[in-house]
Structure 1
């Protein structure tokens, strides 16, 4: 029997609230029945960015930002219900990731801002949130969580790699042995769009490098690339995860410190793009032939071109397997919410390093 459930994602790019109404059947994702992406206001985004590091009055500011985000989420969910002529009783619930402002599994915490009580009250729906904490306290990294969903939507196309390029990039390597489909490895490879967007906004007054056109015009600085790629995160063994608390403007400035003003701004954009491409490519198995890419980075054609050139793999959009690249993360958290509501434990031991299968997410009933 077909059922419906919402998923909500605000990623490390902090650019939009993505809401997917996912159709599921027998616990499996079938298709996106509806989707809406609402840009995050400049003021709210600036608040999120300011909360990535220590500052004054953090507790109140984080709670006010959480309330504003949650009211926006509720408004979008209600508008989708209305335009599909649905009542809350026709939907199982909502999986809300929340906006990550801190992620430190080594210290046993991660913070995703949202107020599930507000969302539940405003939509009259059950809300599942805080997906990452249980994995962390069970010994895992709390990220990435999407690989199990990647496996679900790509079974018919295995073996392959699913590459998600958001603010942070992560890969899911999916193997096929006769009829057995399994995840060989999955982890955050490092920066996706985050450093590219930061540099582009600061130096070209643009929110992002549209299609990678600026990077394509520049010249790669191999000395800077080598300096950046020497960062210990890239040689660290998986399972591993990262975020904007690590790869940020301070990180760029430290890497540029020894170069002073020697490097042209456009050449730095080129080099940062190459860093993202190289850090992804070095983790793609040599026997891989096809990479399916999703997330905002799928629209950076120059970045995709560089990944294809370095890996010698065919790099295709997840459109090719029936899923819009922009929808996948929101759909993933709808599916994860379904698993929580069904009291299903998920095995992330080979992905996050969790010591045992766990039920992810806290449930707020209406």
Structure 2
């Protein structure tokens, strides 16, 4: 059985109204336990900057380009995401150590599937540094590399949720009415189809902002006072997007709001609300069989005018429409939840997109992992362990020479490595520290393992490290040992730190003495003689005053 991970999903959608934060505990497959939710709105001035970012992004030809103010905007946006995570952890009374992963969507500023070009602002490594949590980001790009549309990605999460819907209500269609609407069709035979279905809230938001000076039509109140202008509605619904044989994903700018002279305020809002509903049903005409149940999520489900049109139009086709809440889901949180779920799938190497969702020829994995740095030195970083890292431990301790003084004293196999990893991960979640993965500062090379563990029975904190054989003699052990000692005392984790080394392990004995540890006695560990050392807070303070460079970098 796959390990259950705790992940936070972050979504900033095409409506550009704020950041949604949601927590999910999942194995990335059938197990889904939904947690808390928080929405952090953008203030009007920041929304204006995002609108300008959309204009700046039109000049992008390569997805790593950041013309105009986009570079500064990306940083500012990422820092807001970090603040949103901090607020969420505070709300839910959680620590960063309780979270395995963050799934970052970012802010889409350009999406041109026909050019295999999609750009989401959001700096994954910066977010990992700011939060201290591993971040999975850029989940759309690999789908496009493999010929997909890069959207939608949420269908696989809908599939995991749909199992709680009674069988007689299938086939089921999840519809997210965000800035752009998208749908996921699911049938009992395993069929999964997803695609963008047309404009959702974006045209209404643009219309009422331009003509009423407000960001959206709250509850559809403005639209409820108007009438549908059918020639205008039909102009939108006659767009080739709805009749094309191939479904494609949409950019926010693919549909534009009416000109001011084409409608007064309420009639324009009413017409665009009708278009949002009718577009869903028109796009659903491309599905292989009729839908029995539509589950509506996203902000559009709160627009009563859209929902009334949707209920009527779907009812004419014999289908039932329910809100996410009526189906026992959270319509506000679902997209952010999906990004948490996708992050876990990405970390496990499971596909995010499928032929029926984005048009790829075969299921495709996706996402880029930005590991959080727990501790940094001039040449090294300590980060969390990932799935598959048992292979690194087998390489580290897989020979008699490299396993002589560690663990059970025998070469490690995958099962034993996996067991040790599980223990270290549990320790990190429980205490906020443990044995961690040691990498070069660039993150390109595995160096070994190092960290501090708490031994409940002995009531003692203990330092440990092991360096990969090819990197012996390069000073890495002393560098990380000194940094860990500094981190332990500067972070006020404890008053006393122990370490141990086999009496024949001359290199470790030398390092511990050089680091400032005091030899206290010899004990037998698993039948082997070992020297034990200690350092107290008072001794560390004297050493730190004499050599300020001993203090950790981060």
Tell me if both proteins adopt one fold, taking TM over 0.5 as the criterion.
yes
1:190-205 to 2 correspondences below 5 Å:
190-205=198-213
Deviation digits for residues 280-308 of structure 1 (CA, Å, limit 9, x no counterpart): 11233573222110000010011011011
Whether the 8 Å contact between 1:151 and 1:182 is mirrored in structure 2 is no
The answer to whether 1:23 aligns with 2:25 is yes
Tell me the secondary structure at the aligned position of residue 315 of structure 1.
Answer: strand
Deviation digits for residues 289-329 of structure 1 (CA, Å, limit 9, x no counterpart): 22110000010011011011112132111113322100000
In structure 1, C-alpha distance between the alignment counterparts of 2:55 and 2:282, rounded to whole Å: 30
Tell me the secondary structure at the aligned position of residue 357 of structure 2.
Answer: coil
Tell me the secondary structure at the aligned position of residue 254 of structure 2.
Answer: coil
The 1:26–1:148 alpha-carbon spacing in structure 2 relative to 1, beyond 3 Å, is: closer
In structure 1, C-alpha distance between the alignment counterparts of 2:91 and 2:180, rounded to whole Å: 33
**Aligned residue number for residue 178 of structure 2:** 166
The 1:195–1:355 alpha-carbon spacing in structure 2 relative to 1, beyond 3 Å, is: same
In structure 2, C-alpha distance between the alignment counterparts of 1:134 and 1:248, rounded to whole Å: 29
Could you tell me which runs of 5 or more consecutive residues in structure 2 were left unpaired when the two chains were aligned.
60-64, 373-554
In the TM superposition, what is the alpha-carbon distance from 1:194 to its structure 2 partner?
0.3
The answer to whether 1:182 aligns with 2:188 is no
**Aligned residue number for residue 4 of structure 1:** 6
The 1:119–1:143 alpha-carbon spacing in structure 2 relative to 1, beyond 3 Å, is: same
- More divergent stretch after superposition (72-81 vs 82-91): 82-91
In the TM superposition, what is the alpha-carbon distance from 1:153 to its structure 2 partner?
0.5
**Aligned residue number for residue 69 of structure 2:** 61
In the TM superposition, what is the alpha-carbon distance from 1:263 to its structure 2 partner?
3.3
**Aligned residue number for residue 124 of structure 2:** 116
Whether the 8 Å contact between 1:186 and 1:239 is mirrored in structure 2 is no
In structure 1, C-alpha distance between the alignment counterparts of 2:9 and 2:370, rounded to whole Å: 15
**Aligned residue number for residue 294 of structure 1:** 297
Deviation digits for residues 125-178 of structure 1 (CA, Å, limit 9, x no counterpart): 1110011110011000001111111111012323211110000001111112xx
Whether the 8 Å contact between 1:349 and 1:355 is mirrored in structure 2 is yes
The 1:81–1:28 alpha-carbon spacing in structure 2 relative to 1, beyond 3 Å, is: farther
Tell me the secondary structure at the aligned position of residue 240 of structure 1.
Answer: coil
In structure 2, C-alpha distance between the alignment counterparts of 1:201 and 1:220, rounded to whole Å: 19
In structure 1, C-alpha distance between the alignment counterparts of 2:77 and 2:22, rounded to whole Å: 16
Which has the bigger relative contact order, CA under 8 A and spacing at least 6?
1
- RMSD, aligned α-carbons: 2.1
In structure 2, C-alpha distance between the alignment counterparts of 1:153 and 1:204, rounded to whole Å: 39
In structure 2, C-alpha distance between the alignment counterparts of 1:149 and 1:245, rounded to whole Å: 27
Deviation digits for residues 60-94 of structure 1 (CA, Å, limit 9, x no counterpart): 51111111111111122123334444333322110
The 1:288–1:344 alpha-carbon spacing in structure 2 relative to 1, beyond 3 Å, is: closer
Whether the 8 Å contact between 2:270 and 2:305 is mirrored in structure 1 is no
The answer to whether 1:273 aligns with 2:291 is no
The 1:83–1:305 alpha-carbon spacing in structure 2 relative to 1, beyond 3 Å, is: closer
Whether the 8 Å contact between 1:35 and 1:327 is mirrored in structure 2 is yes
The structure with the larger Rg is 2
